[in-house]
A and B are shown apart, each in its own frame.
Chain A
């Protein structure tokens, strides 16, 4: 058996009930279930998640604004999207990055027969948001954390207040030392 580092999965997390899922990074895992476990270990060491999604990285179809300014790219996206019959269409999640410093976040959902068609749909449906970067991926490729597991997965990080820099009053401590010196 070759000793590989396994396939990559993209990790998305939701910081609070009702806020959009945001891309965080990737993990490697032998299957999607382990990917969710690894994602929790890597990305939920601080209390900033209530839910997580993992998606096989190769299923994410991406297009940057730079690519979309290229007419041949636009033509090929449109062409491929028309070639697919709408009968076998399914739901795709749409994500986008808006600011230079930003991460990719959840924008909405479209129905399409292929990732390319999904991209085309997304650009038409959400054209007014004009992001720097689009991602679409099939909804059925996502493994989401179970709402029943929210506490076991994410609550432990909340009690570990010693990970918060505010727990260490070093500025005050230095001030007291200096005051003592002067006396």
Chain B
């Protein structure tokens, strides 16, 4: 009788359960935001959460900010579909954190206040460097944000089992409205707690599924891999590099280019950088990166089990579904399979749970991105470029809130018509811009005394224009044609082809260019003003003397 009852759990019930858990996630995060907003008084509260987060808290928040739905659903999906090459991708995402730990986190915490630009503006001319840094901050964040929002529309629709255009539009608008709410009401404090909660949910959900998958194979990894290879139909090639990136010389070089952008881009992502300001000291910032590395590393190790687990354990119709979803449904359907399979109560509960985790993941990441752009617009552009520093904290915070509304609104308006376009490349592009435009300027500023205002603006604009420019003429924007199912693989309609740059990832060219322009702009100017305050910057970054408290 029991089995009969279990079998009654229909697809409808699963969707109701998923919907219920989505609402629970929304209610939980809204409550947190209200609770966190009680003490939002000063600019440091709004932009940096009062610099009151411990290393461990900030480590969870960094992990929550960094691990997007693209890595949760995308990487396990890529492994499920292309085997080992999906794993290759995630290693770059982790190793990158060493750049942040060794070269950036502590020094930035000691020398900046609220935004990436603060660190440059410490010894450069305010208006040009802030304008440049704010431009690249907003560009990187909007690219990343658009990819997340378009992805959210498709994902939530997929997870809830609705596929109409109006449902997707509604989802995008709903996610957008929520992120605006978190940022406007909660500021950095609210956003941080949303990210912490998300990181806990994500780690918990992933650990649960990983253990269940491994238990199916008596914790024998080799057996899991063997079954995955067998069921993939690819044999042992499934466990070796090459299925995705190894098809041609171009795709191999493209992979090198992507790898460079990943390891150098992370430490230049503005939404990651501003997280370092939320701790009381540089030492806590260091501790937070250690926590982040532990969490992110553990997570990517588990995606290996999830991806190969999905290839090994998900069969029949569900296997087809993973392929049609481009891999995004691998983790949720794996959860259903290890919970007892389609139609079982256990399967339905786990499917709903993992879907809700994915939803929380999307919310936390888009909130972080919106806050970052709004902070840069308010603190860099409004307060320091337009008003030349002659503003009260109250005016600045109000501007940040208005900016969050506008940026969120623009993101919704762009994501709705863009929802059927192929925008997955925007995440890789955001990393490439961060590596080409932001990281060179940050590193030069910290370690090269002679670095000048012109060098800073040239490296930022040079890296930005070359990375975005190359992508416009790359196959991701036009000329890639259609896949066998008739889906356009490029951004522009298939009858337009303006591509001449062969790589999909510009990093290989644009990162050296960013460094080159920074050097060129500096050695060709007689301006030595920025050297005067290098002594101070140097002492401050290394010792924390005079750092913001």
Whether chain B is bound by chain A comes out as no
Which of A's residues lie within 8 Å of B, judged by CB? Answer: none
